[in-house]
Chains A and B, each alone.
Chain A
Amino acid sequence: MNELRQEVFQRIQEIRAKAQKNIEPNEDDLKVLLLASLMEEECHGSKNQE
């Protein structure tokens, strides 16, 4: 889990860097963002997991 989290964190940094240069994220980046949101949900819980 920690390795995956680190990998996702790294990818998000890359996506941010791209956004700062005004480079559009690609579909793979959006998938990473979806994965990050699921990890966030897993950690903090949400209405869906009450």
Chain B
Amino acid sequence: MEAKIKNNEIKAEPAQKTICLVQLTRLGDLIQTAQVTKKLKASRSDIRVSLVARKQFADPLRFLLEEVFDEIHTVDFSGITNFEQNNVKTTTDNIQTLLTQINKTHISALINLSFSKPAGYLCSLIKADYKLGVHYDNFSNMIVKDHWSQFVYSNVLGSNLNPFSLVDLYANIIGIDKSSLIPVANKGKGKRILIHPFASLSRKRWKPSKWAELIYKLLKDNPELVIDIAGGKEDLVDVTSMLSSPVLTGFQKRIVNHVGKKTIKEMYDHLDLVDLFIGHDSMVGHLASYKNVQTITVSLGTVRPTETTPYQAGAYVLAPRTKCFPCQPSEKCDLYQCHSDISYQVACSVVEQIRKDGEVDFEALCKNISSFHLTSVDIYRSEINNKGNYRLKSMTNNAPDAKDVFRELYRITWSFLLDNTDENLPYPKLSTGSHQVLLNSIQGFQHLFELCEFGKKYSKFILQEISAETPDIVKIKDFSKKIDEIDHLKSLLIKTNPYLAPVIDFYKMRKGNLSGDNIVELTENSYLVYEECGNVCSVMYELIEKVIAEHKIKNGIRNKDKTSNV
């Protein structure tokens, strides 16, 4: 630490603080982490930010990561472990070499943005003043102390009702001002489109023949259009099958095939020539958004558009209205109904509208395409409000399904309770189905609230017993048993009310990570967790009541209109 001597006083200059982000997940997540870090650096240029990432993902993106991170530590787990040759001693020695390299710089805050076991253990071994996100204590118990990491662990990994984008969640975990550096998509007018028709899993991508149909229609209807196709070496078979489609025979001159030929850096540079990107949820979409190229994402299978759509205002998403969408990776599916529910005609019309007007007008879309195609698809446009919160806004007139309604209500609730921000959203439209689900879940929230009240009551009894002159351990144990029963009943409630899962799982996580060194502190904090959970129930109860009331009023008005018309 440097010191300045002035008027015989020694003033210590504070050393530059270092935040270390651990992101061991894939390329797309790394780009999103870079987007958050850009915001962090914009508001706090005095802070050094380092990154710990897997070598296989960080190396191809080094050109981009070096722009935002002051230091990058790459972890080559396969080299460190080398399961075929090493024994435990050599492996742990290799891990120590990695740790020595990371620990060379004093880390003020270590933030784990990847929610895997190896990342958690690695974070336990890295030395830092403060740790956020998943890590393990000395007894190998998982610790997640901060609210937003607890939220990600319980809501993003566990359910599909998370209303926030991953970039916003990362920003919330780090605690940065989201309103700076809001990326806005350039209008996708122009004559060059980049298509990335691939994804890591077959359930997340259309078959090559369907992409061939879309490319054919676009090239046939737009004689000046040029289409670039991006992809890696592993996509060579699919691209050959796509381009050998008979429908594309006369258009080969206007298709530029980059698959397996360009590195990520070369593709990133090539994006300067491109006006619009269309593809599935993949790294290339995030790369395009990084360059403010307008994106259209065709979300299929396990993809959750709210979480992973490229981070930019003005991005479009086509998502199927299939009941099981988005599915879980563990669910088997041979039918891929969600692939059929987005027709290439809808995708083509969306692209043409964006190319012509820079945006999608649903009324105009209805005139061009049969409602048969439109009723099975949702079209969303991304918005980022002045607080920097990212949201997908529906462009269609379709009534949202129950999952969408709950996502909006949870968005209001969590923003208010965890971020202290008000989200002003319109009342969601209700279908008969979603109305019924809301009516059922309102009772669920009532039950959950009552359980929380019992939790508070027994926590209070424990505190009273402890403060008695001669505390009775048997009584304390009995009350603790009651609390265990309450927690068990809360978990059972998810079976009958699955839409309550985000609240129940989040507070289960909070309860598993109570602060406190003794029974009094732990019980006090347990009381507070029940109190918080009860508050969420009250807010959700009130919101659902209002949505239902609004639905009834609207229906009433519509009925009156019908009567007067008659």
Which A residues have a C-beta under 8 Å from some C-beta of B? 1, 3-4, 7-8, 11, 15, 19, 24-25, 27-28, 30-35, 37-42, 46-48, 50
Contact = CB atoms under 8 A, between A and B. Distances in A.
A12 to B, nearest CB: 10
Contacts of B86: 4
B95 A46 contact: no
Contact of A37 (B83, B117, B139): B117
B87 A4 contact: yes
Contacts of B421: none
Interface string B66-87: 0000000000010001011011
Contact of B84 (A1, A31, A47): A1
Given A25-B138, A48-B114, 9 more contacts: A1-B84, A4-B87, A30-B121, A31-B92, A34-B95, A34-B122, A37-B117, A37-B120, A38-B81
A16 B24 CA distance: 27
A38 B118 contact: yes
B140 A3 contact: no
Nearest to B204: A50
State the 4 A-B residue pairs at the shortest beta-carbon distance, nearest first.
A34-B121, A37-B117, A31-B92, A24-B138
A11 B200 CA distance: 36
Interface centre among A24, A41, A48 (most CB of B within 10 A): A48
Interface residues of B, number: 30
B88 A4 contact: yes
B251 to A, nearest CB: 33
Interface in B75-132: 77, 81, 83-84, 86-88, 91-92, 95-96, 114, 116-118, 120-122, 124-125
B25 interface: yes
A50 B200 contact: yes
B201 interface: yes
Interface of B: 24-26, 54, 77, 81, 83-84, 86-88, 91-92, 95-96, 114, 116-118, 120-122, 124-125, 136, 138-140, 200-201
B515 to A, nearest CB: 20
A27 B96 CA distance: 10
Main secondary structure of the interface of A (DSSP, over half): helix
Contact of A30 (B77, B116, B117, B136): B136
Contacts of A42: 81, 83
A40 B54 CA distance: 17
Contacts of B95: 31, 34-35
B125 A39 contact: no
A19 B125 CA distance: 18
A46 B25 CA distance: 10
B122 A7 contact: no
B289 to A, nearest CB: 21
A46 B116 contact: yes
A40 B77 CA distance: 13
B96 A31 contact: yes
Given A28-B92, A41-B116, A35 B140 contact: no
Nearest to A41: B118
B125 A34 contact: yes
A28 to B, nearest CB: 6
A48 B140 contact: no
A13 to B, nearest CB: 13
A21 B230 CA distance: 57
Nearest to A49: B26
A39 B88 CA distance: 12
A4 to B, nearest CB: 6
Contacts of B124: 30
Given A33-B121, A38-B118, A50-B201, A11 B88 contact: yes
A7 B24 contact: no
